[in-house]
Amino acid sequence: MNALAPRFEAIDLSAQKGEQWLFENIGFTLHAGTWLQVQGDNGSGKTTLLRMLAGLSRSPTGSVRWCNDNIRDEPEGFHRALMYLGHQLGLKEELSALENLGVASHLAQQVLHTPRALAALGELGLEGREHLPLRVLSQGQKRRVALAKLMSLSADLWILDEPFVALDGQGLAVLLAAMQAHLGQGGMLIYTSHHSVDLGDIPGWALRLTA
């Protein structure tokens, strides 16, 4: 078996809310170039599951493995390969889009040249707004800055929590194209959405959480 081929595995995850089990025995394996959509009603535990997969919260049972290493034991290699976009965007309102991307690239320990960052922002229709503080941008535009981060930094695994929220038609199209390009380059994608998304003939699965 090729040890270099990235592989993401979830084994026997579960979550409890009070006395009730949100979900139990969740397990899957994701290979290069495949995606997983987590579906479920409001409150069914989609965000909880995604946070577990990213390593932000713990599952009382089971484990999450990246290239056969438990992400609890070897977080650094996993975090280098991971890009997580949650409900909160992780951007600073007082900083401009460009400054936010700069900080993000340092946190990801990657080199991001300004032209590359500007190109990504331009592609998302933020041309001319690169130097404005984020607080003057609209909700959808802030989302776009977060997406520019995804597109300008490289990561093997994207975990996106409701990435389509607050985006308009054109934003949706750009994100969809970015997802397809990411998968085409051998990346992996896990996302939640209430939209039905057409990723063409790229292999992937849907995981339905039932409360």
Partner 1 sequence: MNGFWSLLKRDLTLAARHKTEVLTGLFFMVVVASLFPLAMGPEMALLKRIAPGVLWIGALLSTLLGLPRLFEGDWRDGSLEQMALSPVGLVPLVCAKISAHWILSGLPLVLLAPVLSLQFDLPADLQMTLMLGLLLGTPVLSSLGAIGAALTLGVRGGGVLLSLLVLPLFVPVLVFGAGAIEAQSAGLGVQAHVSVLSAMLLLSVFLSPFACAAALHVALD
Stretch that binds partner 1, among 7-15, 27-35, 91-99, 121-129 (CB under 8 A): 91-99
Closer CB to partner 1, residue 149 or residue 182?
149
Between 58 and 195, CB nearer to partner 1: 58
Amino acid, res. 208: R
Contact between 32 and partner 1 by CB under 8 A: the answer reads: no
Residue 61 or residue 180: which is nearer to partner 1 going by CB?
61
Q: Name residues contacting partner 1, limited to 172-201 (CB under 8 A).
A: none
Strand pairing class (188-192; 7-17): unpaired
Question: What is the rounded distance in angstroms from the CA atom of residue 84 to the CA atom of residue 47?
Answer: 12
Residues recorded for the chain: 211
Using CB under 8 A as the binding rule, the residues of this chain from 99 to 128 that contact partner 1 are 99, 102-104, 106-109
CB nearer to partner 1: pick between 154 and 180: 154
Q: Does the footprint of partner 1 cover residue 93 (CB under 8 A)?
A: yes
Q: Does 66 bind partner 1 (CB under 8 A)?
A: no
One residue of 33, 62, 86, 125 binding partner 1 per CB under 8 A? 86
Please say which residue, 81 or 202, places its beta carbon nearer to partner 1: 81
Binding site for partner 1 (CB under 8 A): 54-58, 75-77, 79-80, 82, 84, 86-95, 99, 102-104, 106-109, 133
